[in-house]
């Protein structure tokens, strides 16, 4: 007999940070943990290994987002108390989603916003949403990544021809998508406060060895899976397990029940970049993204 009385959905729970966050929360019998992955078989196997449930979700296909939300609604699972928007990827070549949107923006930002909208009626207060960001959103942090673009939703969704090398263009789109995660966090935190839903962002630090480099060239992959793993004793470098526990805490720690609109680097709340606090930019990103989602699902 299940003792669980609450559910958390973790996107991208089949690998890296998401899997470790899921593992940490699933150890508490009060929680039913749903991990999502694009491949149903793989998601089932990964979920079974950590005591979670599996669901299929492709954030690059808005029909899949709608289907996932419909399935969740009829699943009979305990009330949805938390959503962790963790899935993310980084392309080194221009790639487009099933809906024809540049895929880094489409998956990391637009798909997650669509998911939040689709599950909003199912989130029962007190509830928590966490977006996984990254230090790469902040030009003041030394991450080796290009600064985010300062542009509008249309240009992010349908970018002009790259003016820099494909890998650099892809990395810039990644840091831009992580800025969008922060902007969305702050916008939704304001909007959802009266509903009893908190919204926070999380930076796991550098976690070498995860699947994030899967689209990189063979030399970069070799570095990511070997040499970079040895950096784990340096400040700001973490294992997925350590960061997964810190991410899980944002979902489960009772002392954070009222905390909203904050950016956590590991276990510590810190300021994010100057650009991320621009409320006009946050609101424009939100409204223009919803308009685009409306067009894409019409
Ligand atoms: N690794 C780092 O150093 C680092 C640093 C800062 C922030 N982050 C952030 O941490 C988060 C997790 O990354 P990770 O390093 O753990 O990478 P990872 O091991 O590659 O995990 C990414 C997850 O996202 C899922 N995913 C990818 N594309 C998807 C799509 N179209 N629809 C749904 N799910 C999709 C993958 O699931 P399937 O492939 O099974 O579908 C996978 O479970 C990301 O948001 C990333 O930006 C990572």
Q: Which is higher by pLDDT, 253 or 215?
A: 253
250-265: average pLDDT: 98
Handedness of CA 85, 86, 90, 94 (dihedral sign): negative
Query: How far is the C-alpha of 174 from the C-alpha of 86, rounded, in Å?
Result: 14
Q: What tokens appear for 4 in the block?
A: 């669980």
Residues 2-34 pLDDT 10s: 689 999 999 999 999 999 999 999 999 999 999
The residue whose two tokens read 């954030």 is: 59
What band does 147 get if pLDDT is binned at 50, 70 and 90? very high
* Residue environment code for 215-236, b if the CB has 16+ CB neighbours within 10 A, otherwise e: bbeeeeeeebeeebeeeeeeee
Number of domains in the chain: 1
| Residue 103 covered by a domain | yes
Q: Average pLDDT, stretch 220-243?
A: 88
Burial class (CB in 10 A: 0-12, 13-18, 19+), 49: exposed
Question: pLDDT of 89-114, one tens digit each?
Answer: 999 999 999 999 999 999 999 999 99
pLDDT score recorded for residue 235:
87
Catalytic: which of 174, 186, 263, 286? 174
For residue 167, whether the previous peptide bond is cis, meaning omega lies within 30 degrees of 0, is no
Non-local (6+) Cβ contacts of 238 within 8 A are: 204, 205, 206, 207, 232, 266
Give, in order, the Cα–Cα distances in Å from 84 to each of 19, 201, 297: 11, 10, 23
**pLDDT at position 1:** 58
Domain range for 19 is 6-297
Strand 53-56 to 31-37 pairing: parallel
Q: Output the ligand 1 site: residues, CB below 6 A.
A: 11-12, 14-18, 37-39, 42, 57-60, 86-89, 107, 132, 134, 204, 206-207, 210-212, 240
Q: Does 216 reside within a domain?
A: yes
**Tens of pLDDT, residues 168-227:** 999 999 999 999 999 999 999 999 999 999 999 999 999 998 888 888 888 888 888 887
Residue pair 129/188 in contact (Cβ under 8 Å)? The answer is yes
**Residue 186 covered by a domain:** yes
As a whole-number percent, the residues of the chain with pLDDT over 70 amount to: 99
Q: Is the pLDDT of residue 232 over 70?
A: yes
Please report whether residue 16 resides in a domain: yes
Query: Which pLDDT belongs to residue 196?
Result: 98
Stated as kind and residue range, the H or E segment containing 127 is strand 123-132
Q: Is 174 a catalytic residue?
A: yes
Residue at 108 is within a domain: yes
CA distances in angstroms from 97 to 178, 287, 293, listed in the order given:
18, 21, 13
Whichever domain contains 116, its CATH number is 3.40.50.720
Mutation choice for ligand 1 from 211, 231, 238, CB with most ligand atoms inside 8 A: 211
Mean pLDDT of 136-158: 97
Q: Whose CA is nearest to atom 40 of ligand 1?
A: 37
Give residue 119's pLDDT band: very low, low, confident or very high (50, 70, 90). very high
In DSSP notation, 200-222 reads EEEE--B-TTSGGGTTS-HHHHH
In a domain, 39, yes or no: yes
pLDDT, one tens digit per residue, over 36-90 is 999 999 999 999 999 999 999 999 999 999 999 999 999 999 999 999 999 999 9
pLDDT of amino acid 28 = 97
* 65 domain residue, yes or no: yes
Best mutation site among 33, 115, 210 for ligand 1 pocket (most ligand atoms within 8 Å of CB): 210
Q: In what order do the strands lie in the sheet with 80-85?
A: 53-56, 31-37, 6-10, 80-85, 123-132, 197-203, 263-265, 268-270
In a domain, 1, yes or no: no
Cβ neighbours around 108 below 10 Å, total: 27
- What whole-number distance in Å separates Cα of residue 62 and Cα of residue 119? 13
- Quote the percentage of the chain above a pLDDT of 90: 90
Say how many Å lie between the CA of residue 1 and the centre of ligand 1: 33
């Amino acid at each position: 007999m299940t003792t669980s009385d609450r559910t958390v959905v973790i996107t991208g729970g089949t690998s890296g940070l998401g899997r470790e966050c899921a593992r940490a929360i699933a150890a508490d019998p009060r929680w039913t943990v749903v991990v999502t992955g694009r491949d149903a078989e793989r998601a089932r196997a990964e979920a079974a290994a950590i005591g979670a449930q599996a669901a299929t979700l492709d954030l690059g296909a808005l029909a899949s987002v709608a289907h996932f939300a419909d399935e969740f609604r009829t699943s009979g699972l305990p009330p949805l108390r938390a959503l962790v928007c963790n899935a993310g990827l980084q392309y080194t070549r221009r790639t487009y989603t099933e809906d024809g949107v540049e895929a880094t923006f489409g998956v990391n930002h637009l798909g997650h916003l669509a998911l939040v909208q689709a599950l909003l009626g199912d989130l029962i207060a007190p509830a928590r949403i966490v977006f996984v960001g990254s230090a790469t959103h902040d030009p003041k942090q030394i991450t080796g990544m290009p600064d985010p673009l300062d542009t509008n939703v249309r240009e992010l969704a349908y970018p002009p021809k790259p003016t820099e090398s494909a890998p650099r263009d892809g990395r810039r789109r990644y840091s831009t998508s992580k800025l969008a995660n922060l902007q969305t966090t702050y916008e939704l935190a304001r909007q959802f406060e009266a509903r009893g839903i908190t919204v926070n962002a999380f930076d796991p630090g550098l976690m070498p060895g995860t699947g994030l480099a899967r689209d990189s060239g063979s030399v970069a992959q070799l570095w990511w899976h070997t040499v970079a793993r040895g950096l784990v004793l340096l400040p700001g470098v973490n294992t997925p397990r350590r960061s997964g526990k810190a991410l899980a805490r944002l979902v489960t720690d009772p002392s954070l029940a009222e905390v909203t609109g904050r950016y956590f680097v590991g276990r510590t709340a810190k300021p994010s970049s100057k650009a991320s606090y621009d409320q006009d930019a946050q609101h424009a990103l939100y409204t223009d993204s919803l308009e685009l989602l409306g067009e894409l699902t019409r």
